[in-house]
Amino acid sequence: MKNKLLSIVNLKKIYHTKNDDVLALEDISFDVYENEFISIVGPSGCGKSTILSILARLEDKTSGIISFKDNLSVGYMLQDDCLFEWKSILDNCLVGLEISKKKTDEGIEYVLNLLRTYGLYEFKDMYPSSLSGGMRQRVALIRTLALNPDVLLLDEPMSALDSQSRMAIGEDIYNIIKNEGKTAIMVTHDLNEAISMSDKVIVLSKRPATIKNIYEINLDSKTTPIKNRSDDKFSFYYDNIWRDLDVHI
């Protein structure tokens, strides 16, 4: 039986600004199951990040129902890696534990282990400026994992990287999330990324974001994101999602 972690029903969001009201989300409903990797795609400015901000409880919803499974914890990895340049890699990874007053010996050991497992231990006393873009993303992911969240929210985690690094880091991020047994919701505007990494792709309309389609990605042989790209069914999903997005050039 699939274990439902999160259920979103008829979510609506209006931003009230000084000059006017912006309707960002309308009638957004979807479920999230344990160990699922979900991508959200949609035109720029449609409301993708708004969904993540609401799930991370950084923004209030206007209406709708969000039910979290008991004690479900959520970790948010922002679009920019937001590393503190004046803190060492280790201290950057400990920021979340520090803020939430959970910097225990056990917490520190958990982070050191993550750094060891994911090839960053030898860099732990260095500063972010000495790392490549891809390694910085890995540090940002470890910082998010430090609090051991059940669900990871990733907002365009690869958007600052060139296209070759993107594929490699996508593979990296995917492997870390699967290895750690996490559930993920990732926002991206890259369809290849979405299809190759996900179990489910949610396609949003332009603002106000409504759900255009939800695709269960059933490839013939699901392996790693890079290999998934050459699956026979890949272009079927790509063509359909591209059509849903209705991009005008």
Residues in contact with ligand ADP by CB under 6 A are 15, 17, 22, 24, 42, 44-50, 207
| Number of residues near Mg ion (by CB under 5 A) | 1
Q: Closest distance between ligand ADP and the C-beta of residue 75, in Å? A: 18
Q: Go through 185-216 and write b for each residue having 16 or more CB atoms within 10 A of its CB, e for each that does not.
A: bbbbbbbbbbbbbbbbbbbbbbbbbbbbeebe
Q: Measured from the CB of residue 13, what is the shortest distance to ligand ADP in angstroms? A: 8
Shortest Cβ distance from residue 160 to Mg ion (Å)? 13
- When the beta carbons of 13 and 166 are compared against ligand ADP, the nearer one is 13
Rg of the Cα atoms in the chain = 18
> Which pairs from 224-230 meet CB under 8 Å and 24+ separation?
224/171, 224/174, 224/175, 225/167, 225/170, 225/171, 225/174, 225/193, 225/196, 225/197, 226/167, 226/170, 226/171, 226/196, 228/195, 228/196, 228/197, 229/192, 229/196
C-beta closer to ligand ADP: residue 59 or 199: 59
Query: Is residue 92 a contact residue for Mg ion (CB under 5 A)?
Result: no
Minimum distance, C-beta of residue 134 to ligand ADP, in the bound complex (Å): 23
Which residue, 38 or 111, is less far from Mg ion as judged by CB?
Answer: 38
**Residue 201: CB minimum distance to Mg ion, A:** 16
Is residue 53 within the footprint of Mg ion (CB under 5 A)? no
Decide: is 49 part of the binding site for Mg ion (CB under 5 A): yes
Given its phi and psi angles, is residue 119 left (phi above 0), alpha (psi -120 to 50 degrees) or beta? left
15 binds, among ligand ADP, Mg ion, none (CB under 5 to 8 A by kind): ligand ADP
Q: Decide whether 234 or 242 has the Cβ nearer to ligand ADP.
A: 242
Which helix H or strand E contains 14, and what residues bound it? strand 4-16
Of the pair 93, 204, the CB lying nearest Mg ion is at 204
Instruction: From 43-51, 98-106, 140-148, 222-230, give the range in contact with Mg ion by CB under 5 A.
Output: 43-51
For Mg ion, the binding residues (CB under 5 A) are 49
